[in-house]
Amino acid sequence: MNNGMNDGTNDGAKITLEGRSALVTGGARGLGAAIVRRLARAGATVLVADVRQELAKELCESLVAEGRQARPVGLDVRDAEAVEELFEDLDASGGAVDVLVNCAAVDVTKSVAELTSEEITRVITTDLLGPMYLCREGYRRMVARGGGHIVNILSTASLRTWTEAGPYSAAKTGLRAFTHTLFKEAQRDCPGIGVTGIVAGGMETPFIMERFPETDTALLQSPEVVADAVMYALSVPAGSAAAELVVVPRREVSWP
């Protein structure tokens, strides 16, 4: 992988993250939990950051019971000061974040005319500003250490939008642009840092099923497939870069 975690001999299925630490936001359930499991089972020590602290605790306990290393971290990504404090606490304890995965996201399914100011702010702050806060803190430290990898989970809404998805599409489109910018800065500042945006299509997770319980699950993909894409991004050897990956169900209605 770009940051030296892979010597080029491993493929995505065999990548080892022994001795590395990862931070996954929105890691308590859905796609975030699938990514946490993949990282932990590859040997990483995983910090599961989520506002759903009880779910995060349960996930970590199940992984520890397997002999993995994971611990919950209560974090609201909308709180810039809390993000800064988390990284400062890690600094003080000698910890580091080798892999940062920004997965936390929310959506409000309403037309523009029906949205409240609070709903617009909540979506934009969670889905765009939160990842930017985390990237800023993580990237600074990765540059200082000379390596690391940042993965931002995007959406087909960053490429093509639909009705009742204004703030979500705006946030994901902005995050995609931010991710591309960070990729270019990493190429300039520190080639040992990988930056990957993953455009994920519809998944059978609470993010969709809680809001649209009538959804035909045959049109969705497993979150494990997207988690595998994260692992692939981390497996790319030095000298190459997985700047952006698109992973959608075969029958994805929002692609292309």
Is 130 a domain residue? Answer: yes
pLDDT band, residue 217 (cuts 50/70/90)? confident
d(CA 101, CA 25): 6
Is 254 a domain residue? Answer: no
- By annotation, the residues acting in catalysis are 168
Lowest-confidence region among 57-66, 152-161, 184-193, 244-253: 244-253
Tokens, residue 212: 């649209």
- Predicted confidence at residue 7, as pLDDT, reads 39
Total number of domains in the chain: 1
What is the extent of the structural domain holding 156? Answer: 21-247
Angle at CA of residue 40, ends 36 and 44, nearest 5°: 115
Q: What is the mean pLDDT of residues 53-65?
A: 98
Q: What is the mean pLDDT of residues 112-117?
A: 98
Is 125 a domain residue? Answer: yes
pLDDT tens digits along 136-189: 999 999 999 999 999 999 999 999 999 999 999 999 999 999 999 999 999 999
Is 9 a domain residue? Answer: no
Write the CATH number for 100.
3.40.50.720
Is 14 a domain residue? Answer: no
Q: In a 10 Å sphere around its CB, with 0-12 CB exposed, 13-18 middle and 19+ buried, how is residue 198 labelled?
A: buried
Is 253 a domain residue? Answer: no
d(CA 50, CA 182): 24
pLDDT tens digits along 225-238: 999 999 999 999 98
